Amino acid sequence: MSISEESKQPSFKHLSVLRKALSQAHTGEIVYKTRDEKLGQLTVTIGDLINDEETTMALEQLLTESIENCELISERVDEKMKDLIPPAAMIKVLNDIKWKPKTLEALKATFSKLPPINVKMMPLHRYGYSDGLTYLMLYQEHLKDKSFTTVKFFNNRPAFTTLEQQIKVLVLGYCLGLINPKVAAKAQPALLENSEGARRVSFANRILDKIRGL
């Protein structure tokens, strides 16, 4: 009996494990096994990854190969770390990572299942991320649209942006806890909506103009 098409589809549940470890400031180990039986592990310290060659190689393997099993063995740090620096190893890997077209499409399909999202702003270029512009565009679009989804992000991709660039910012933002499902909020006064929302969109536009050199 042949393997069903469904079982052949790659799973990206390990991204949720990585997200939990990094965004919730865990300390411990992420242990995983690839479909071809390779074993690996990543040490997490208060939501951060060591920026060394061994960690970079393990993280790249976790993000690019088909993962059979992934588990977080850790404990939560009692005190919330409000100003965690984005993991240098995560940014380093995503700067250079290359996914196969088939994997990109599978990641696109996975992220397309997310409900409307909120996006937190963070100046990722300060931490060495090479494509802060794409992340800024994601943030800007979410400000303009209360029902903004990843599907809209994919559908509105400008000509100068690739699918891989979009996937990278989604993986980065998701794993760092910067991208979250939108929670229905109580209705706010129209004045607050118009003034605060407009200022935030205007601010994002000014940053984009500077980056583009306009």
The predicted pLDDT at position 185 comes to 44
Q: What is the mean pLDDT of residues 44-55?
A: 87
Token readout for 204 is 């994002």
Which of the residue ranges 56-65, 78-87, 159-168 would you say has the lowest mean pLDDT? 78-87
Residue 189 has pLDDT above 50, yes or no: no
Phi-psi group of 47: left, alpha or beta (phi > 0 → left; psi -120 to 50 → alpha; rest → beta) = left
Average pLDDT value over all residues in the chain: 81
| Residue 31 DSSP symbol | E
- State how far the Cα of 163 lies from the Cα of 161, in Å rounded to an integer: 7
Q: What is the mean pLDDT of residues 144-155?
A: 94
Domain boundaries, the chain: 9-85, 98-214
Average pLDDT value for residue range 165-187: 83
Q: Is the pLDDT assigned to residue 99 strictly greater than 50?
A: yes
Q: Tokens 């990585």 sit at which residue?
A: 18
For the stretch 27-49, pLDDT in tens is 899 999 999 889 999 998 888 88
**Mean pLDDT value of segment 65-83:** 75
Question: Using CA atoms, how far apart are residues 166 and 205, in angstroms rounded to an integer?
Answer: 19
Percent of the chain with pLDDT over 70: 76
Q: What pLDDT does 206 receive?
A: 56
pLDDT band at 186 (very low <50, low <70, confident <90, very high): very low
Band of residue 6 on the pLDDT scale cut at 50, 70, 90? very low
pLDDT at 173: 92
Report how far residue 134's alpha carbon sits from residue 112's, in angstroms, rounded to the nearest whole number.
17
Residue 117: predicted pLDDT: 93
CA–CA dist 156, 54 (Å, integer):
37
pLDDT level of residue 150 (50, 70, 90 thresholds): very high
Q: Is the pLDDT of residue 114 over 80?
A: yes
What confidence tens digit (pLDDT) does each residue in 16-30 have?
Answer: 999 999 888 888 999
Asked if residue 190 has pLDDT above 60, the reply is no
More confidently predicted of 121 and 6: 121
pLDDT score, position 191:
36
